Every structure is written in C-alpha cells, then in structure tokens.
Amino acid sequence: MTKEEKLFNTILLLFETGEVDISDMLKIGWDIVEGKYDDYDLLYVRDELNESIGKALLSPGTNALIKVAYIQLLALLDPSPDSMIKLLQGIRQGDFDKGIQYNLWCQCRAMIFYMPVFSSKEVTRLYLDIYLEIVDKYRKGLEISLDRIPYDERNQNLAVVITSQYTDMGHGPTKSCFYRAKALKQIGKKDVLIINTNDLLPYMPYLPLFWKVRQGVNTELNNANFVGDDEVRIDYFQLEEKDQMDNNSLATIIETVQELRPSFIVNIGGFNIAASLLNDVISVLLVGMAPGQLQYDGTDYFTCSLKETEDLYSLMEYVGAKKESLISSVFTSDLKKQVETHTRAEYGIPIDGFVACIIGARLDVDVDNEFANLLNSIEDVFYIFIGKFEKYDDICFKYRNLAENSLSVGSVSDTLSYIELCDIYINPKRLGGGTSSVEAMSKGVVPVSLTYGDVYYNIGEEFSLRDDAGLLERIGKLKSDKDYYAEMSIKAKKRAEYLCDTKHRFMDTISELENRLRNNKENVC
C-alpha cells in the first residue's frame, strides 16, 4: 500500500464511521497546511475521495457541517481561489444559525490570510457578500432600533474605538489599537473608549473541521475599566470570550454607544459585527491591519495605504466600495520597547558572520519547501528563525545547509533584542509580517522581500524584488559590498522612522474624517 493510499484510507475512515473525531480531523488538516505531506500526491488523495464518497457527501441530504468539512478538506488538498469559492458557497448555502455561519466564515478568512493561494478578486467579493448577509441576520435578530444619530447631536469630544481582539503590547493589532486611541486622546484631545468584542475568531470546539484557528484572549482584562501606559489611561471594556456573538452582547454594546453618542467610531481591523451594525447609528471608519491590501467591509469610511490607481479604483468598484468612502493614509506601526540585550556568542552565532532573520507567528506555514530550499541555496549566511516554528527540526533534516547554519529561538517577548544580532531581514512570500519588517528597519537591519504582501508595502520598492533571482542577487550584494550595505541600512532606519509616526499620520486621517463628517452632516456615503 502506498503512502497516499494510507492517507486516503485514514480520511475515508473518518467519514465512514459516522462518529466524527474532530481532533483527528484537525491533525490531518494542519499536517497538510504545515507541509507534512509535501512529498505526497495530494491530488491523488483528492480524486480518490471524490470518486469514493464525493457524491454522497455533497448530496442535498448530507449534514451541512459535514459537507462543509469535506469541501474544506478538498480545498486543503488542492488550494486555489476556485476551491475557496466552493467552500464559501457551501457556507452560504447551508442552513446554519448565524453564529455558526459567522464562525465558519471567520475560519475562511483565516485560511485566506494563512494561505494567500486562496485569494482572488472573486473570493474577496464573495466573502464580503456573505459577511454582509451575516450582519443582516444579526440586524434582524435585534430588538432595539438602529436609528441614525444626527451629527449635531453627537458628543464631538468623544470617540469610540472598536476591536475584535486586544491582548498585550507584543501583539501588533493590539499595539495599533492602543496607540491610535492614545493619539486620539493626546493629540485629538478627545475622551476615548476602547471596546473589545473578543470575536476575531470565535472558537466552537464542536465544529467538525479539518482546519481552524483560535484567537488569543487576555482574560485578565475581562473586568478591566481602563488600559494605559506611563502617559495615558484609556477607558476600556471587553466582552468575555464566547463561542459566538449573541444578541444580548450586541445589544449591550449598541445601547452603550447610543447613550454615549460619540462623534465617530474607529474599527480596528474591520469585519466586526458590532461595528458594522453601529454604522447604521454613527459613521464608522475601518482602519485595516493589512497595509498591502484593500480592506473594506461596507462601513461609511475606510482607510487604504495603497496608491490610488485605476487598478485600486477598479477593485473598489468590484467589491462595492465608493471613492468617497476612501481615506488615503499611511499605515504606521508602533514598536514595543526593547528591554533585553543578547549577544551572538550567547547563541553560538558566528561573531563576524553575515546573519539573516526570518520572523513570524506562522513560520510553520510561511517556511514551506520552496522558501526553505531558497535559503538553503545561499552560502555563508547564518539564519535566526524568530517565532513559533515546530517543524524546524524537520526542515533541518531535509536541508543540510540550514541545519548547520541556523538557529530557532522560538517565540520571544523582546523581538528587537534578537533582531539587532542580524544584518538582514528576509521575508517569506506571505500576506502578513508587516510589524516585524518595521522592527527590523528600526535597527538598521536591511529588509529583503518579494513585491508581495504587507512587508512589501512597509519596506517599499527600494528593498523589494520581483522574483527569487533578484532576491538572491540582492542578498549577495548586501553580503559582499559593505558600502552598499551601510547605505541601505541608513535608508532602512529612515523608512522605519516614517512608519512609526502614528501620532501625526493617524491624526491626519482623523482630521480628514472629521472634515467629511462636518461637510456631509448626514454622514451616509
């Protein structure tokens, strides 16, 4: 029996027993995503599954959740925009409770983020349409009114910031939320309330899926009345984590905001059910967390860091976003203060060697065979992997150069103290990673990336290459030409300074928002 046949039989047994073992399902799905089956013919497994049980599992009489799980498995075996569209359609067509449907949709959103191969214009439009349909289901389930509060009846000295996740200052979106709220308070001279709805990735352990992720939650903030630093205290409220957003929690948030009557609402990250419903009441500004992408969820206003081009306008038109909703902005990062110091000798790193860092919270996905092979092909470079990387030993077993010239330090609390041991920052092909690239540049560490994703936006054209050949050539030049390296290091520091000026860049955005609110009065785009 071949290894593919063994995998096929293992999966087949899961469906044929009638008793779903979710832990077994998740292990198979995550092993596929993290490359444990990279040397398998997964298309063979997909085709055999379709041949043996596909028609039965996709028939109208099949349990809708099992059907979605099967479609998700097929997508993992053969990832593409078309397979994601089929999965989203399955979620849309299933007769699901709104909470379950939102949970399934959130997992699709996470899949697209983890695995950009699922992304396309059509996928973006479809998952936006489904999201708005889910919002409407929640809207119809509310027993409170969502009447618009006129601009002149709002408290112009108050702003509300809504986020779906708030953990700690080592977490990029949390820092973005806090420092933007801080700018509103210190520079905008406004009272500010942060509301954390805690539903970025609501976790239903009983959902039978082959792949799902759970958001990080800081339960110590459940009873907190404020968050702050040495300079400010900001009013704060968070919902306790639940497996789904319920009508009572939504009503509590909405009625609180209706009573406070803030001048506007800032939604950090977008796709927040409460924020989308509150947009009926008071204009919401979506501040996306992915600077290299268009992020839009149907609210009155949204920021975008991409250049305003015909391609951008075409994409906006495709997803239904209006030009008057767009507020062009600079996406800024806020860095956690460095408190540790390390040395190369401490970790056995060559003192005079040329050292590169690869940083991420999803290295098991980001460092695939293609990227590992590229790193392995480069001579006279030592690599430090920073972040959770459980398959590091497996990668080293496959690639001898990496085994002899690399180190994985795992997840660390003080990233900057490890970055400063390095000369360059190499970015895998991924959508995220934007904050780490700014952290690297702040230390004069020169970034190298393909022209793709958030890192590409942050570092700019000067540090980005069109293909792997260009990337290899750039690394070689940085390694061999000290004057060129020094020049690029200075430019990296200047770029970081520009991207870390949240106070002024974000307040420019708020100034434009307030101008539009005053001019429109009705605030409906």
Instruction: List pLDDT tens digits, range 110-152.
Output: 999 888 899 999 999 999 999 999 999 999 999 999 999 999 9
Quickly tell me which residue has 């319920």 as its tokens: 246
What is the chain's length? 525
Residues with Cβ within 8 Å of residue 478, at least 6 apart in sequence: 423, 424, 446, 448, 484, 485, 488
Q: Are strands 262-268 and 284-287 parallel, antiparallel or unpaired?
A: parallel
Of 26, 209, 178, nearest to 106 (Cα)? 209
pLDDT tens by residue, 229-280 = 999 999 999 999 988 888 999 999 999 999 999 999 999 999 999 999 999 9
Answer for the pair 278, 265: CB distance below 8 angstroms, yes or no.
yes
What pLDDT sits at residue 336?
81
Beta bridge partners of 327: 303
What pLDDT sits at residue 108?
96
Look at residue 95 and give its three-state secondary structure: coil
What pLDDT sits at residue 521?
64
Handedness of CA 361, 416, 427, 472 (dihedral sign): negative
Q: Where are the alpha helices (DSSP H) in 349-452?
A: 363-366, 369-376, 392-398, 400-404, 415-419, 434-442
By the 10 Å C-beta count (0-12 exposed, 13-18 middle, 19+ buried), 147 is classed as exposed
Residues of the chain short of pLDDT 70, as ranges, are 18, 521-525
Kind and range of the H or E run holding 496: helix 482-499
| Structure-block tokens of residue 112 | 């697209």
Answer for the pair 34, 391: CB distance below 8 angstroms, yes or no.
yes
Residues with Cβ within 8 Å of residue 270, at least 6 apart in sequence: 286, 287, 288, 289, 295, 296, 297, 299, 302
What pLDDT sits at residue 501?
82
Starting at the edge strand found earlier in the chain, the sheet holding 355-359 runs 406-410, 382-386, 355-359, 424-426, 446-450, 464-465
Of 353, 308, 299, nearest to 329 (Cα)? 308
What pLDDT sits at residue 407?
96
What pLDDT sits at residue 114?
86
Phi first, then psi: give them for residue 60, nearest 5 degrees: -60, -30
